Structure 1
Amino acid sequence: MTLRHPLRIPGITALPPSGRGMRIGLFGGSFNPIHDGHRLVVEETLRRLDLDALWVLVTPGNPLKTHNDLAPLADRVIAARQLLDNPKVRVTGFEAAHGFTYSWQTIRFLTSSLPDRRFVWIMGADNLVDFHRWERWRDIAAMVPMAIYVRPGSGRLAPVSMAASALAQWRYDETDATRLAFANPPAWVYLHGRQSALSSSAIRARRQHVKSK
């Protein structure tokens, strides 16, 4: 079944509800497809950061990757909502409605339009390795605290990456993770914990292999 255009489906691109003073995690990605590894990060960061809510931001597409095999936005949002069945988690593709391409645009919009919320940017350690390649990455670090969650294969590289080295003086101890949402950026924490070897690219490759048989 072909889904309607995401901007015409109620709720797909709506900004989740929130209240003053809420501690809200922002977990962005293509989620193409979403899997249990993503769910693990969501569950762990919700608990470890003591968040009131976590918003999963399903992006129109990663500017650093090709979009040849990118599933429609609405499909990815719906799949994420089905997998992440948690009252504290909200899944949205709102960036598409605003024409945002880069994370700094999303963060600037949220922190300026909702200045009385306490946002925390969440990403896997594999993203920290390449964070210096992100558009205006220093601005991102200056706008919002960040929580980095360990990922297989990145555990040794991420803490000594270019971005990690540049931001080293603002790193919080892992035991202080619950304070991160109240920190003035730049501020970041590196979280160790349960890991999953699943990856969206590997899942897509397996699916393509099955189709080609």
Structure 2
Amino acid sequence: MKRIGIFGGSFNPIHNGHIALAQAVLRQCALDEIWLMVSPQNPLKQNSTDLLDDHLRLQMAEKALEGVEGVKACDYEFRLPKPSYTWNTLQHLSKDYPDCTFSLLIGGDNWAHFQRWRNWQDIMNHHEVIAYPREAYPGTIDVPLLNVSSTEIRQRVRAGKSIEGLVPEAIVPLVKKYY
């Protein structure tokens, strides 16, 4: 069985913290791959007004991950009903990829409120949940806490500030163009 980590998010935009985290979890948890699941609509962020088009976020994620071994951008949720409930995604993935097991990678902030997620008990019963630390929220694994956020990147672009070192060099022009 191939072990796949599902790292869902808006990736609005993807940044170096996402990539470093995915690489650390890949190594530490002995997963075969990590799929960055670009989410079309997070049910807990339905009021978000600055979410870039799904395909543009996917395009940036794919470009950012070129040459990153074992980590790939994924548009699987684009074909599923919205909002994108993780339980629904995991149900479909398990059916479509019967030779794979899926682990869910979430932040410590989400882990602290995991019981708010739709069908969270079923997720726990059928999938490994790997929680990484976020500021003020511990995780279930010990990986570096990287203090960078997509919100900060969008704000820096709007303010005309540098985003060098925050996002992969390959996508700096795209981030500046779209945000």
TM-score bracket for the superposition, by shorter chain length: 0.7 to 0.9
> CA deviation digits over 1:113-169, x for unaligned, max 9?
3232121111121221222222222222122111111122212xx6xxxxxxxxxxx
Determine which of 29, 39, 58 is the counterpart of 2:38.
58
How do residues 21-60 of structure 1 correspond to structure 2 at under 5 angstroms? 21-60=1-40
Q: How much does 1:210 deviate? A: 4.0
Pick from 78, 91, 94 the counterpart of residue 73 of structure 2.
91
Instruction: Give aligned pairs, total.
Output: 158
The residue type paired with residue 64 of structure 2 is L
1:195 corresponds to which of 145, 148, 151: 145
CA deviations over 1:74-129 (Å, ceiling 9, x no partner): 11111112222323222111211122521110001111332321211111212212
- The answer on 1:111 being equivalent to 2:61 is no
Which blocks of at least 5 consecutive residues in structure 1 are unaligned?
1-20, 159-189
Identity score, percent: 35
CA RMSD of aligned residues (A): 1.8
> Structure 1-normalised TM-score?
0.68
User: 1:203, CA displacement in angstroms?
Assistant: 2.0
Residue 18 of structure 2 aligns to a residue whose secondary structure is helix
Instruction: Give the SS at the match of 1:40.
Output: helix
TM-score, scaled to structure 2 = 0.80
> Which protein is bigger by CA-based radius of gyration?
1
- Match for residue 78 of structure 1 among 46, 59, 68: 59
Structure 2 unaligned segments of length 5 or more: list them: 162-179
SS of 2:59's equivalent in the other structure is helix
> Which one of the candidate residues 20, 39, 49 is aligned to 1:68?
49
SS in 1 for 2:44: coil
Contact 2:23 2:71 (C-alpha < 8 Å) held by counterparts: no
Q: Secondary structure at the match of 2:102?
A: strand
Counterpart residue type for residue 88 of structure 2: Q
Equivalent of 1:206 in 136, 153, 156 = 156
> 2:113 & 2:157 partners in 1: Cα distance?
27
